[in-house]
Structure 1
Amino acid sequence: MSVPFGSVPGYLPGSTSLVEQLDRPVLLVLRDSRHIIGVLRSFDQFCNVLVEQSKERRFCWTAGGGGGPVYADVEEGSTIIKGDQIVVMGEVDDLDMPEMGGKLRKVTIKEFNAIMEKVDEEEERKRGKCWDFDTDLNN
């Protein structure tokens, strides 16, 4: 049986569900815990994907100073992601996130980095001196 040119066969081994997400916004959670959002343009039998208009979405759930949880987007353009790096992929309604009733707010990447530095300083202060592998084993 042959498939007419331009139509998608009813069964594509290993990637059947991706056909429905083509040209739609998707969210990918990767093995290194990054979150990528963009428009799915292409895929292959190994689940390698091409995502256009992609952004890496970074979250900070413990924003210092009582500011609440925040997120920032880092624009990446077109991105090819290997299938073995994808943990979860799903369709999203929009590339922008709703404000979730004021609980999660969007900030610029500069503000995000400043918040992360503040959080790191607070955690460092709580921990006290960090364990130094080279000097602590020699004592």
Structure 2
Amino acid sequence: MPLNVLVLHYKNCLVTYLCLRSLMVVKHASRDRSIFIEKLLVLLRDGRKLLGLLRSFDQFANVVLEGACERVIVGDLYCDIPLGLYVIRGENVVIIGELDLEKEELPSRMNPVSEDEIKRAQKAEREATDLKGSMRKRMEFLDFD
């Protein structure tokens, strides 16, 4: 069930086109109802990556994910932090992509870790980037480009 998504930034406005080619029709309690069976990866403006099952969306790219989790990746480590049912405002969406349920999501070199470990790794990475930035500022007078 492919989900086609086009997200554009045009003159500081977010223009989003969502198009579901097919919906799965499920017989439930003697009535037909359409439900979304799409596992999505949503990249937000602040750099966070959210995964979950698509439950609803609208023309403004507002999205409701069921069983959502935030995927945090630091080097070869990753952690999926569970969020539950999650509503995302369309203005925060950069891109939405469908995940193939039959394919493996991550390369085999990636190692799952706990929330505490990934937060420590994030902090260490942030400190290393800050140090690199401060070193670059100190050497700015040398005009290395």
* TM-score scaled by length of structure 2: 0.61
Q: Which residue of 2 aligns with 1:119?
A: 125
Q: Does 1:48 align with 2:52?
A: no
Q: Distance in 2 between matches of 1:18 and 1:33?
A: 25
What's 2:46 paired with? 32
Give 3-state SS (helix, strand or coil) of 2:59's partner. Answer: coil
How many residue pairs align between the two structures?
A: 109
Deviation of the 1:46 alpha carbon: 1.7
Structure 2: gaps (5+ residues): 1-15, 24-35, 138-145
**CA offset at residue 119 of structure 1?**
3.1
Q: Deviations over 1:30-62 (max 9, x none)?
A: 11111010000011222211111000111112x
Residues 49-77 of structure 1: CA deviation (Å, up to 9, x unaligned)? 1111000111112xxxxxxx211111110
Q: 2:81 aligns with which of 69, 74, 77?
A: 74
Does the CA-based 8 Å contact 2:54-2:66 persist in structure 1?
yes
| Cα distance per residue 1:74-98 (max 9 Å; x no partner) | 111011111121111011024x954
Aligned pair in 2 of structure 1 residues 97, 116: CA closer, same or farther (>3 Å)? farther
Gaps of 5+ in 1: 1-13, 62-68, 132-139
Q: Which has the higher contact order (CA 8 A, sep 6+)?
A: 1
Moved over 6 A (4+): none
Residue 47 of structure 2 aligns to a residue whose secondary structure is: coil
Cα deviation, residue 18, structure 1: 4.0
Matching residue within 104, 121, 136 for 2:110: 104
Q: Percent identity?
A: 30
TM-score (norm 1): 0.63
Mapped to 2, the partners of 1:40 and 1:124 lie a distance apart of 37
Q: Larger strand proportion, structure 1 or 2?
A: 2
Quick one: structure 1 residues 45 and 128, their matched pair in 2 at CA, closer, same or farther if it must change by over 3 Å? closer
Query: Cα RMSD between the aligned structures?
Result: 2.9
